[in-house]
């Protein structure tokens, strides 16, 4: 069997490609890139990029539907659903192809477009070739997890991957799972006119968010769509026409049945470690299959690193990019290591309303028995908040009152994904001091005043 040796092997061409290209360009290393799908990873091909492109169409529809609040009578007369999704996917597919061309043209990079599996801790078999590397980076990501619901294998269902690639809008869509992916896709389909039903086993949606955010968001979604909380799906079937019948048990033990044209299952993700044959290596994984790494993104095997969704520490594209920076900086430092610090890791959910957060939630403050204080402000109590009729929006801070330090911030409302960055900068560059925001002059009446006034 043919064999080759590299300075670095990267398995997965999402954020792992950041490290691969930097090593090839700045260190002049010979790098192998292994990817059995389109280049660019989950974010580009089936995650944050295409989803935000189609969600923008939903945001426009939402604006039109609210126009009467501002004295404008309007209506949506036609939706070219295929155009909306095709526009996003054409852009995404072209970007993935451009990335592939760039890798293929690079003299220091070899692309293997096939599945790679370990044959030992330092050897990977791919496309009939055994390759070894001085260093190996595992960035193979994760995939949608589908629970073993009775009947699920006999029906045509979507995961997030398929939901982004539809060309025909369904009249009705049932969503199993109330996390952020399901809620973003529910916003897209629902704002464009699909009848939405959500079935969630817990007592609230997006339960990992701060409790006040989760509570308000659950209330708002319950007013828009058919929402079933504390409900567990017991059976799914499909008739000859393609209609699905979903049976679920409610909190009181009673059984309910709904019919839907389309079904979306979004119940978490599963790391792709099971496809790598890690059993022949000494790489440690958790009970859930995530690769275990230390603060330097090192696995239990020397010179083997891991990042991104397959690690599961910061399951966001910006989290994986940050981890890629840590790994490459440590390559550059050649012995003087930098540890990853997740204490200021923001996130956002692109629903209507938007949600964003950074730092700890109130629940976490209680669990840690911290002394804390809550400071909030409503959008509607600012000039711009009133102008845009953001009646449900608010900013919530968790504060260390003794030292006047920001412990966490959570925002629900328009432009939350942008507003949170003022807090991120205060935490990163201002030592988290309240004064960094409170004492700064804010444009009046910009929406950012709501963040300042909360403090």
Please tell me what DSSP assigns to residue 208: T
**Exposure of 334 by Cβ count < 10 A (0-12 exposed, 13-18 middle, 19+ buried)?**
exposed
Instruction: Consult the annotation and say whether 184 binds a ligand.
Output: yes
180 is an annotated ligand-binding site residue: yes
Cβ-contact 407, 426 below 8 angstroms: no
Q: Is 385 labeled as ligand-binding?
A: no
Report whether 177 belongs to an annotated binding site. yes
Does the annotation flag 342 for ligand binding?
no
182 marked ligand binding residue = yes
- 138, 143, 147, 149 alpha-carbon torsion, rounded to 10°: -150
What is the set of active-site residues?
444
Residue 14 annotated as lining a ligand binding site: no
Count Cβ neighbours within 10 Å for each residue of 162-186 and write b for 16 or more, e otherwise: ebbebeebbebbbbbbbbbbbbbbb
Residue 116 annotated as lining a ligand binding site:
yes
Contact 419, 447 (CB under 8 A): yes
DSSP H stretches of helix in 192-346: 211-224, 317-333
179 is in an annotated binding site: yes
Residue 284: how many CA atoms within 13 Å on its side-chain side? 10
To the question of whether residue 297 is assigned a binding role by annotation, the answer is: no
The 10 Å CB-count burial string (b at 16+, else e) for 418-441 is: ebbbbbbebbeebebebebbeeee
- Furthest-apart CA atoms within the chain: distance in Å: 73
Q: Is 430 marked as binding a ligand?
A: no
DSSP letter at 331 equals: H
Q: How far apart are CA 284 and CA 175, in angstroms?
A: 34
Is 268 annotated as a binding-site member?
yes
Q: Is 200 annotated as a binding residue?
A: yes
Beta strand 226-228 with 405-412: parallel, antiparallel or unpaired? Answer: unpaired
Are the C-beta atoms of 187 and 266 separated by less than 8 Å? no
CA distance 61 to 53: 13
Residue ranges for the known binding site are 52, 116, 177-184, 200, 268, 309
Residue ranges for the known binding site for FAD are 52, 116, 309
Residue ranges for the known binding site for NAD(+) are 177-184, 200, 268
């Amino acid at each position: 069997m043919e064999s080759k040796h590299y300075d670095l092997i990267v398995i997965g061409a999402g954020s792992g490609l950041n490290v691969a290209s930097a090593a090839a360009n700045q260190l002049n290393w010979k790098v192998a890139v292994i990817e059995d799908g389109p280049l660019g990873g989950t974010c580009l091909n089936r995650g944050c990029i295409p989803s935000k492109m189609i969600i923008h169409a939903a945001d426009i529809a939402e604006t039109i539907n609210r126009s009467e609040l501002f004295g404008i009578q309007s209506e949506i007369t036609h939706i070219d659903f295929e155009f909306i999704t095709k526009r996003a996917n054409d852009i995404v597919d072209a970007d993935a192809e451009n990335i592939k061309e760039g890798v293929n043209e690079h003299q220091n990079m070899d692309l293997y477009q096939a599945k790679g599996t370990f044959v030992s801790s330092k050897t990977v078999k791919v496309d009939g070739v055994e390759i070894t590397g001085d260093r190996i980076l595992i960035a193979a990501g994760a995939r949608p997890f589908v629970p073993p619901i009775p009947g699920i294998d006999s029906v045509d269902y979507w995961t997030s991957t398929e939901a982004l690639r539809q060309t025909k809008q369904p009249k009705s869509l049932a969503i199993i799972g109330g996390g952020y992916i399901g809620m973003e896709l529910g916003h897209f389909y629902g704002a464009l006119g699909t009848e939405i039903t959500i079935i969630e086993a817990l007592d609230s949606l997006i339960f990992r968010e701060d409790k006040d955010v989760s509570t308000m968001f659950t209330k708002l979604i319950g007013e828009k769509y058919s929402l079933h909380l504390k409900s567990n799906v017991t059976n799914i079937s499909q008739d000859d026409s393609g209609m699905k019948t979903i049976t679920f048990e409610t909190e009181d033990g009673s059984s309910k049945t709904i019919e839907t044209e389309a079904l979306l299952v979004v119940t978490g993700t599963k790391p792709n470690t099971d496809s790598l044959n890690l059993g022949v290596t000494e790489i440690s994984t958790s009970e859930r299959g995530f690769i275990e790494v230390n603060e330097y993104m090192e696995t239990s095997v020397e010179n083997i690193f891991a990042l991104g969704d397959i690690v599961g520490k910061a399951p966001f594209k910006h989290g994986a990019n940050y981890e890629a920076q840590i790994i490459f900086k440590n390559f550059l430092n050649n012995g003087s290591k930098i540890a990853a610090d997740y204490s200021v890791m923001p996130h956002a959910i692109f629903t209507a309303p938007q949600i964003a957060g950074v730092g700890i939630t109130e629940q976490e403050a209680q669990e840690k028995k911290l002394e804390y204080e809550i400071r909030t402000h409503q959008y509607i109590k600012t000039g711009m908040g009133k102008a845009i009729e953001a009646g449900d929006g608010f900013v919530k801070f968790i504060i260390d009152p003794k030292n006047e330090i920001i412990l966490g911030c959570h925002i629900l409302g328009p432009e939350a994904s942008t507003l949170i960055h003022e807090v991120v900068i205060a935490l990163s560059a201002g030592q988290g001091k309240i004064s960094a925001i409170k004492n700064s002059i804010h444009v009046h009446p910009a929406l950012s005043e709501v963040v300042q006034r909360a403090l």
